[in-house]
């Protein structure tokens, strides 16, 4: 980001550059940060895309200005620890799961580093934390085999589902339904308006041995669901029929980590980190690998990769944070 990223985005627009395979192969690290002493385990862009928040195993929360390529603020959660973190609909608040004392979800003011509310209930590690794209509803799943629904305005659980296996869950892009991946083999779709009812759709996938699911994500267009695991396979399924569309592999995960996989904003590409320091990119339609990007600054497993929802920029994280931009042709 030699200068302002906005200026680069303007150049991209002026030259008619679109997010395609050619542009992705030109991505390079433009800004690099070493604020953490331990592995970064969660990233989240604000809905407007101008801010990025990260949490790390050293209990540090860092807020970045993704338009200027600068650090906005650094906070700590030494008492409770921090794992998954998500912006709410305001830029100055976030919710996060905890790693110390208990498994309560906490609602944090980023302005003054004070907790606004606590959401107790889960008795084991929280595996998923999803903010509704439309309102103040938060969805969580836990190793205690439950899914819980919360409202930021109340500390009381608004909905509760007891399951027969460990779940991972996420809202769809419209905030009307949510998906729950259960026991590493079944995806159930629920209508938010009848949270406590049976799922309106359910489909089963072949169970992979020693490949526990780590997350489920809807594509931005809502048509597909991406399933990642603690192994070295990522699967893409049709969100309506459950049909297995693609299987993405060829990356390393020899430490059984949760390597985040993400979509491009147009749902056309899939991104994933790896334990060997490469970022792997696939075409979602063809299943073919587009390229592998080597982040020379990354010296440990790249656990988090996300693409900005609003600009031509990708972010990756290990113990450090890297902002990627396409290299412009002279």
Region 176-184: mean pLDDT is 93
Q: Which of 7-21, 55-69, 130-144 has the lowest mean pLDDT?
A: 7-21
Give residue 21's pLDDT. Answer: 92
The span from the CA of 158 to the CA of 266, in Å, is 33
Question: 282-295, pLDDT tens digit by residue?
Answer: 999 999 999 999 87
Helix, strand, or coil here: 12? helix
CATH number at residue 109: 2.40.10
The residue range of the domain holding 149 is 5-48+135-326
> Which pLDDT tens digit goes with each residue over 239-282?
999 999 999 988 888 777 788 899 999 999 999 999 888 999 99
| 189, pLDDT greater than 90 | yes
Same domain, 103 and 241: no
Report the percentage of the chain scoring pLDDT > 90.
Answer: 60
Rounded CA gap, 151 and 155, in Å? 7
Query: Does the pLDDT at position 236 exceed 80?
Result: yes
Same-domain pairing of 194 and 285: yes
Does residue 137 surpass a pLDDT of 90? yes
- If asked whether residues 305 and 203 sit together in one domain, one would say yes
When pLDDT is cut at 50, 70 and 90, the band that residue 209 belongs to is: low
In a shared domain, residues 206 and 181: yes
C-alpha distances in angstroms, 327 versus 22, 27, 74, 95?
Answer: 11, 6, 29, 35
Would you say residue 145 lies in a domain?
yes
Instruction: Indicate the number of domains in the chain.
Output: 2
- What predicted TM-score, i.e. pTM, was given to this entire model? 0.90
């Amino acid at each position: 980001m030699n200068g302002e990223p906005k200026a680069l985005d303007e150049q991209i627009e002026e030259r008619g550059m679109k997010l395609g395979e050619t542009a992705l192969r030109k991505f390079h690290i433009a800004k690099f940060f070493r604020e953490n002493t331990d592995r970064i385990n969660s990233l989240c862009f604000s809905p407007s895309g101008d801010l990025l928040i990260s949490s790390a195993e050293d209990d540090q929360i860092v807020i970045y200005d993704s338009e200027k390529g600068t650090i906005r603020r650094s906070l700590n959660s030494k008492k409770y620890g921090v794992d998954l973190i998500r912006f709410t609909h305001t830029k100055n608040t976030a919710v996060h799961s905890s790693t110390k004392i208990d498994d309560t979800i906490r609602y944090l003011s980023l302005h003054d580093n004070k907790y606004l509310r606590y959401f107790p209930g889960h008795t084991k590690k929280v595996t998923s934390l999803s903010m509704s794209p439309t309102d103040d509803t938060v969805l969580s799943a836990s190793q205690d085999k439950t899914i819980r629904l919360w409202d930021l305005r109340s500390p009381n659980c608004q909905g509760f589902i007891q399951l027969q296996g460990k779940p991972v869950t996420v809202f769809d892009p419209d905030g009307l339904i949510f998906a729950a991946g259960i026991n590493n083999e079944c995806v159930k779709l629920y209508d938010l308006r009848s949270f406590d009812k049976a799922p309106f759709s359910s489909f089963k996938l072949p169970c992979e041995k020693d490949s526990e699911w780590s997350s489920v994500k809807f594509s931005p267009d809502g048509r597909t669901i991406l399933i990642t695991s603690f192994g070295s396979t990522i699967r893409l399924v049709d969100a309506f029929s459950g049909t297995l569309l693609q299987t993405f592999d060829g990356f390393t995960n020899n430490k059984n980590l949760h390597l985040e996989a993400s979509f491009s904003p147009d749902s056309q590409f899939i991104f994933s980190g790896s334990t060997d320091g490469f970022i792997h990119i696939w075409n979602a339609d063809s299943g073919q690998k587009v390229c592998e990007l080597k982040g020379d600054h990354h010296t440990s497993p790249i656990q988090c990769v996300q693409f900005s929802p609003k600009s031509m920029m990708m972010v990756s994280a290990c113990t450090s944070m890297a902002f990627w931009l396409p290299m412009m042709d002279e």
